[in-house]
Amino acid sequence: MVTSTTAAAPGKARALAVPDITAVNSALWLTLTVLAAALAYYFLGYDQGAVSVFGSDTHIHEFIHDSRHFLGFPCH
Ligand SMILES: [Zn+2]
């Protein structure tokens, strides 16, 4: 017989932690997520392509180089 110490006792309801979701809170998280995704997309796909934020420095390009090829972005 398998027993679990974390199982709820029979007959007792367990409270669920429901996050506080408001329209402003959702819009803030959506905006931050889009900004982070756009930043990651730029560095993965376009830095050291046609343009670069850091000039002719290739440290970021070389750091994410394998990820760039794995995701199918053209490189060289
Ligand atoms: Zn490459």
Confidence at 30, pLDDT banded by 50, 70, 90: very high
Let me know how many helices (H) and strands (E) the chain has, helices first.
Answer: 3, 0
Residues 41-53: pLDDT tens digits? 888 887 775 567 7
Is pTM beyond 0.75? Reply is no
pLDDT 10s digits, 1-27: 555 555 556 677 788 888 778 999 999
- Residues in the chain, overall count: 76
Question: According to the model, what pLDDT value does residue 26 have?
Answer: 92
Give residue 40 CA to ligand 1 midpoint distance, Å: 17
Task: Give the Å distance between the CA of 66 and the centre of ligand 1.
Answer: 7
CA of 35 to the centre of ligand 1 (A): 25
Q: Distance between CA atoms of 51 and 44, rounded to whole angstroms?
A: 12
d(CA 38, ligand 1 centre) in Å? 21
